[in-house]
Chain A
Amino acid sequence: GQQVMQIPQYQHVQEGEDFTTYCNSSTTLSNIQWYKQRPGGHPVFLIQLVKSGEVKKQKRLTFQFGEAKKNSSLHITATQTTDVGTYFCAVRGSTLGRLYFGRGTQLTVWP
């Protein structure tokens, strides 16, 4: 299946610090999606990136799609305790209908 590597696996930050998670693929991606999952909860769709070099913002969250469409990042500015959770990227496979998830980055925010 489609391989997408997500790093880091864990990130612990103090409230107010920034946080970034990365997704990397060895092949060119048609698009990438980002999800957030709170502890004990279900994944919640955040955004989809489609265009090369695309940058989208949602309040303190900045999403970027690489120029070569092989990598993507999610950056959170000035983390808050409400940002705690696991952030996943997901990419569409070559077979229509299939979606492949990265293993996620688990974010812990200390007050």
Chain B
Amino acid sequence: NAGVTQTPKFQVLKTGQSMTLQCAQDMNHEYMSWYRQDPGMGLRLIHYSVGAGITDQGEVPNGYNVSRSTTEDFPLRLLSAAPSQTSVYFCASSQHLAGTASGNTIYFGEGSWLTVV
């Protein structure tokens, strides 16, 4: 019962490098999303997906790409890393869209700590 699995847990990048944060869930959830968390800022939505093949932008999408080729996987790509992208990244999944169904639980991965130098 893995839930939401994120890799890597820690990563240091140089400015300009690209990388992919992996996210996988084994609960057959339709809805997946990526957030970043910065000190004092709460969590901000980067991109989200309502099902395989469907993605949309959140509050802070610039500098990030996503794809959803399968129900299970939702990778987040940093195209050209910048120091402003130093943050903790969380992937989340749920059976229903957040706030649309009683009893809907949103599950978060354990986070990926990214430092861009």
Contacts and interface: CB of A to CB of B under 8 A. Distances in A.
A50 B100 CA distance: 9
A99 B106 CA distance: 11
Interface size class of A (residues with CB under 8 A): 20 to 34
Interface in A24-39: 30-31, 33
Contact of A102 (B33, B42, B50, B111): B42
B18 interface: no
B48 interface: yes
B48 A98 contact: yes
A43 B104 CA distance: 15
Interface residues of B, number: 30
B100 A33 contact: no
B48 A97 contact: yes
B110 A101 contact: no
B56 interface: yes
Contact of B98 (A9, A99, A103): A99
Contact of B43 (A1, A48, A88): A88
A97 B102 contact: no
Nearest to B90: A42
Nearest to B111: A42
Contacts of A70: none
Interface string A48-91: 10100000000000000000000000000000000000001011
B27 interface: no
B109 interface: yes
Nearest to A88: B42
A100 B45 contact: yes
A97 B56 contact: yes
Nearest to B43: A101
B84 to A, nearest CB: 19
Interface string B46-63: 001010000010110000
A97 B90 contact: no
B65 to A, nearest CB: 17
Interface of B: 31, 33, 35, 40-45, 48, 50, 56, 58-59, 90, 92, 97-100, 102-111
The 4 residue pairs across chains A and B that have the minimum distance between CB atoms? A92-B99, A101-B42, A99-B98, A42-B108
